[in-house]
Amino acid sequence: MKTKVETLNAPKATGPFSQAVISGNLVFTSEQVYLTPEGKLLEGSIEEQTHQVMKNLKGILESAGVTFADVVKTTIYVTDMGNYGKINEVYGSYFSDPYPARETVCVAALPLGAVLEISMMAVKP
């Protein structure tokens, strides 16, 4: 059985997907770009955009009853590996050791013309 997660603290899902789904004690977020909760892409530096993605994910995780401390796996998609260091610095500021497992994948394009997208899996305590 799975439960849909919805929050106003992150952009609404704009297609046939949920902001997150809980299955048992596992929480799976959909990938988030740097949309504001109102649904507009945040203009600004890659650091500001990364903070927006993390704020979106924080809102979704909290709505599911977990925090960044409960995250066990993340996936980061970027369109330019030249941004990796700046993204990694901001991303890392949201976690502490032991850090989640992670992969970073460079792709040709992302939805809405975004340059960064992150998804997470967490375990409910």
pLDDT digits (tens, 9 = 90+) for 52-83: 999 999 999 999 999 999 999 999 999 999 99
Residues 6+ apart with CB under 8 A from 94: 54, 58, 68
Lateral strand order in the sheet of 26-29: 2-5, 20-23, 26-29, 116-123, 71-78, 101-106
Model pTM score: 0.96
- Is pLDDT larger for residue 13 or for residue 45? 45
Closest CA to 122 of 59, 54, 73: 73
Q: Average pLDDT over the chain, rounded to whole?
A: 96
Ordered by start, the domain boundaries in the chain are 2-123
pLDDT > 90? residue 37: no
Q: Is there a contact between 22 and 3 (Cβ–Cβ < 8 Å)?
A: yes
What does DSSP say about strands 26-29 and 116-123: parallel, antiparallel, or unpaired? antiparallel
CATH 3.30.1330.40 fits 2-123, yes or no: yes
